[in-house]
Structure 1
Amino acid sequence: MGRLGGIARHERSRSAIETLQSISVTRASGVAGDKSGVIRPGGKGRRQISLIEAESWDAALADLPPGADTALPWHVRRANLLVQGIRLPREAGKVIAIGESLRIVITCECDPCSRMDEIQPGLKDALLPDWRGGVLGRVLTDGDIAIGDEVRIEE
């Protein structure tokens, strides 16, 4: 069992990241107010919500080239949720439960993009091994979540 360590959203591509203490997450809109939450007509919702492990983020920062900024906050990764103390499954179809009712099915790995190197040279490569960039998923059941909530793997 792990804990929810952070919540973030951004309204538009390349817009500022907003960190939050709590939020509603729904099948209809994902993380409320986030650009990726609404599934387009005919879409599969593979990228509706993103999660990253605090431990993977720390490992990526430790692997940055000498002289790099290793104090970057997790949300520059542009993930929605930061989990701590739990290893996220590295395969599609597994279900992550957060809080009392939120359920997310993993759809795929969240591959780091070139934007990561814009933030910090070398960050993209540091996030590539072992799914360090996190996972993407689709919301199965709605839930209100808050930092500190329990995170579990159900399937």
Structure 2
Amino acid sequence: MSGRRGYARPLDGADRITARAEADELLIEADKVVRSTDPYLAGHFPGVTLYPAVFLLDGIRQAVGAELHRVPSLAAHLGPGGPGEDWLELGTLDSARVLRPMLEGDGLRLLIRVTPGRPGALRAALDCRRADGVQVAKATVELVRGGTS
């Protein structure tokens, strides 16, 4: 065994991601459509396609990891990483609330504000809304540098 950790390919946390830097913050908009044909939803809730809220957490992790390069000061706040150590992981879940079910066909918009957290961590605040503007979930998490991707 090489000692290297391996990961299964994660689900696609977003269908589209856009981001912009604003001072020392990263503002991300990630869109995801809930589809019953997505393999990870099969059998989750028989008879009704219900998007698991835990997938929102991975959506945050993926979107921030993909767009972190836009704010070098945030990447530096995480501290140095060795070769291949660019994988972000959930450090803590500070708060989370699901306000409405996320159902088949719902277009979700994940609005994520990323700021420096404690040393070696980033704070990501999520406001998740359906395409009609209704808020369906909100969360605040801490992201830390993980192992190899």
Task: Work out which of the two has the higher radius of gyration on C-alpha atoms and give 1 or 2.
Answer: 2
Higher relative contact order (CA 8 A, sep 6+): 1
Fold match by TM threshold 0.5: no
Q: TM-score, normalised by structure 1?
A: 0.30
Structure 2-normalised TM-score?
0.31
Higher relative strand content: 2
